[in-house]
Structure 1
Amino acid sequence: MSSQKAAPASVVVPTGLQRSPGTALHRQLYIVLRDQILRGTFPAGAAIPKEADLEQMFGVSRITVRRAVADLESHGLVRKVPSKGTFVLPRKDGARREATLTLLEALTRQAEDTQVQVLSVETVHAPGDIALLLELEPNGVAHHVVRLRSAGKTPLMVTDAWVLAKWAQDLTPKTLLKNALFEIILSKGVKFGKVVQEFSAILADPQQASLLKTDVGSPLIKVTRLFYDAQDRPAYHLTSVATPERTRLLMEIPASAINTLSAGSYQHTVLV
């Protein structure tokens, strides 16, 4: 590899991994190095610090370093060259993409480009917060659908949907394998009027970690969407969780919407 080069001398690698119960040390180190690679701190062809240097920088064992580097290599981010070092590989996904699809177009593309596994379909009493959002009576019934979307053998996203019972007659595992959920709802004559979105981060619980093949306590992207019909009535509630290792969320806000609710706003929750 004649193009191999050392990392910039100005690179400062953060130290002090969290040693309390949660994400394993090798996973934390992997995430730190992966993020630096994705940000370009270590460009394609550059060598990441040697194992001994990483041990000192982070105060971890050689085994921890090797496990983290092995994870980087298994995800196609680096390549180990005997007697020379570990070098960053070119990004497979190229430069940052633009958000060129509308929401429904993006949902259609997602359905076309991934495989779905229907984990559960049931009609049950909606939890209090869901009942409130869907404007149901207390202990009101809704259709609950949980699915896993994957690319090949790689899990990408767990979706958890609550649908008004009147739109759920044909929601079965069989129909959900053939059609996206929103397509089934649209086929009932529903016309979407607006969507309220919320983006947040959570820590993976045991079930989410198992489905997404990540560690318990790993950070996950959480996207919550409440779809309304053209009469401004709730139609269905959808929550998606994904690991930031494999998923990014792209948005484009036109100039006409910069000073509107469509641009979004921060909502802080402070516990006193």
Structure 2
Amino acid sequence: MEDDLPPQSAAFKLSKGTSLHRQLLLMLKNEIESGTLERGGLFPSEESLCERFSLSRVTVRRTLGDLAAMGLIERKPGRGTFVRKELPPPRLIPTLGVIDSLKNTEMKTQVRVLAVSHAVPPREIGMALNLQPGEEAVNAVRLRSCDGSPVMLTDVWAPLAFKACITPEALSKMAFYEILAANGVTYGRAVQEITASIADFRNAGLLAVENGAPLLKMRRVMYDSQEQPVIYSTVYLPSDASRVLMDVSGQAVNTMAAGQVVFDTRRGGPQA
């Protein structure tokens, strides 16, 4: 029941694995956007935040600087810090299909090709691409940036039949799906999964985040018009700079076409 729910702020506890600055930033940002901290109202002082969360003044001051840069709070000399009355306007939600979405990403970002090779993929990927055990596939790893900041790390596999056209030069000019389309592939559908992940040493360095920082992980299998899998991609995105948009038609709202939530209760292994 509603009475059983704890206050929103009381549910927040600093935890290990993610920097204290990042946790505090996300919590305060949520309190501002949700209205817990009133627009135009006085924002908690540095001293009160230090005491509330047992944090150093350096961490709190850095967080307040980020909130100000995001346009969420403003400092008034001699008066204190206030939540802005007018918050940044919500971003428009585009109506895009899978291919249009990929094209949109390509147009708004700059790409750096990190590696192109062919090897035996991990078992899960090989099965998704209908490969035989031990069969090799083409692999390409790229990093996309926006305004100089890394925003997307992609790790893509495709059947070895496309080896000749998947080159560093081609990948620096065209998206992976465009290269295959230019070589005769007609796309039919895509299956996509979005989960939470954390940055390992490699991904943290490439995405310019802290080791162990939260990431969005997007896995997508694209099929051609003959229902053959042709692309298996894994995308990593910094969680504090990314969002996933869905535009579902009225006819698809109550159908599987709108997607589904899958619960995996075996995080630590099968439950007894």
Q: TM-score, normalised by structure 1?
A: 0.87
Is structure 2 residue 125 aligned with structure 1 residue 130?
Answer: yes
Shift of 1:42: 4.0
Is structure 2 residue 88 aligned with structure 1 residue 100?
Answer: no
Question: 1:59 maps to which residue?
Answer: 54
CA contact (8 A) 1:16 1:58 kept: no
Alpha carbons of structure 1 residues 154 and 87: separation in structure 2 relative to 1, 3 Å: farther
Question: 1:157 maps to which residue?
Answer: 152
Question: 2:138 maps to which residue?
Answer: 143
Is structure 2 residue 215 aligned with structure 1 residue 225?
Answer: no
Query: Partner of 1:252: helix, strand, or coil?
Result: coil
Query: Partner of 1:65: helix, strand, or coil?
Result: helix
Amino acid at match of 2:139: H
1:233-272 to 2 correspondences below 5 Å: 233-271=228-266, 272=271
CA distance in 1, matches of 2:71, 2:146: 16
- Deviation per CA, 1:109-136, whole angstroms, max 9, x where unpaired? 1101110111111111111111011010
Shift of 1:258: 2.1
Is structure 2 residue 92 aligned with structure 1 residue 110?
Answer: no
CA distance in 2, matches of 1:47, 1:168: 60
Query: Partner of 1:178: helix, strand, or coil?
Result: coil
Question: 2:114 maps to which residue?
Answer: 119
Structure 2 unpaired stretches of 5+: 1-6
- Deviation per CA, 1:187-225, whole angstroms, max 9, x where unpaired? 111111110111111111122122222222221111111
CA distance in 1, matches of 2:99, 2:168: 22
Q: Does 116-125 or 205-214 show the bigger shift?
A: 205-214
Query: Partner of 2:265: helix, strand, or coil?
Result: coil
CA distance in 2, matches of 1:257, 1:15: 35
CA contact (8 A) 1:225 1:239 kept: yes
Q: Does 217-226 or 69-78 show the bigger shift?
A: 69-78
CA distance in 2, matches of 1:145, 1:115: 16
Amino acid at match of 2:165: D
Report the RMSD for the aligned CA atoms in angstroms.
Answer: 2.1
Question: 1:83 maps to which residue?
Answer: 78
CA distance in 1, matches of 2:154, 2:39: 34
Q: TM-score, normalised by structure 2?
A: 0.87
Q: What percentage of aligned pairs have identical amino acids?
A: 36
CA contact (8 A) 1:16 1:59 kept: no
1:3-42 to 2 correspondences below 5 Å: 13-14=9-10, 17-20=13-16, 22-42=17-37
Amino acid at match of 1:192: Y
Structure 1 unpaired stretches of 5+: 1-10
Q: Among 210, 214, 231, which residue is 2:209 paired with? A: 214
CA contact (8 A) 1:13 1:57 kept: no
CA distance in 1, matches of 2:145, 2:203: 14
Alpha carbons of structure 1 residues 259 and 74: separation in structure 2 relative to 1, 3 Å: closer
CA contact (8 A) 2:12 2:27 kept: no
Alpha carbons of structure 1 residues 235 and 257: separation in structure 2 relative to 1, 3 Å: same
Query: Partner of 2:172: helix, strand, or coil?
Result: helix
Amino acid at match of 2:252: A
CA contact (8 A) 1:114 1:149 kept: yes
CA distance in 1, matches of 2:216, 2:11: 24
Alpha carbons of structure 1 residues 234 and 207: separation in structure 2 relative to 1, 3 Å: same
